[in-house]
Amino acid sequence: MTGFVRLEVDAGMGTVRLDRPPMNALSRAVQDDLRRVAAEATERDDVRAVIVYGGPKVFAAGADVKEMASLTHADMAPLARSLSAGLGALAGVLKPTVAAITGYALGGGLEVALACDRRIAAENATLGVPEILLGVIPGGGGTQRLARLIGPARAKDLVYTGRFVHAEEALAIGLVDEVVPADDVYARARAYVEPFTRGPALAYAAAKKAIDGGLDVDLHTGLDIESDLFAGLFATDDRRIGMASFVEHGPGKARFTGR
């Protein structure tokens, strides 16, 4: 454990804080920390939603190229899947996750953000996957999550050219979901996830499993996944609480326990 990534918990919100100045370069040690912190966020009952934040100036400007420059194929072959697992570790957190993006989110930094459910970007944010300029391709999930998010043609444009995308274009193509003033990014992320801290945690987990799992299979199989997860929620306290509250008081007034 290096301390380059830490989990800060407050009022049901867990902030995964990237902290490797000056640019939060995603070294192997940072990737290990991301896996550790993602596991911690998953296991802790007092974390109901997660924000990923690199600080007020930069989200993460990519992998540590100096660390990789001397590696051979024989060196990278056993490491590549570990790199992908580290940069994509937040995708496995079965709680609502939001990337709060300031400054640069490039290469591996963007891949970390792509592993989240939602992306809120500062007006001055710059995003991209410039790995092609180094003679490689995105290796932390970028080719797969980017194509699923913005479509294959736009993903190929960004991967082939390595060009940078500024906040407004990122919003227009669906790469980010909101653009706000730079000083408001973290506060907006907190405001977005705060309602989830009082919501039905097991239903959020089921929704995430259904949506993400359904993207990888045909429609018929996806509907089966949805049906099984839907039925499973009838074993939860929150389903009982939510339906009883709806019948007695109308929608939106249930006080869920997360169980």
Q: Which residues are catalytic?
A: 111, 131
Whether residue 65 contacts residue 26, with contact meaning beta carbons closer than 8 Å, is answered with no
Strands 97-101 and 104-106, sheet pairing: unpaired
Whether residue 5 contacts residue 18, with contact meaning beta carbons closer than 8 Å, is answered with yes
How far apart CA 120 and CA 189 sit, in angstroms, is: 7
90 burial level (CB within 10 Å; 0-12, 13-18, 19+): buried
* Residue 51: DSSP 8-state: E
Name the CA radius of gyration of the chain, rounded. Answer: 19
Whether residue 90 contacts residue 50, with contact meaning beta carbons closer than 8 Å, is answered with yes
Tokens of 116: 């989240």
CA distances 76 to 1, 80, 82, Å, are 22, 6, 10
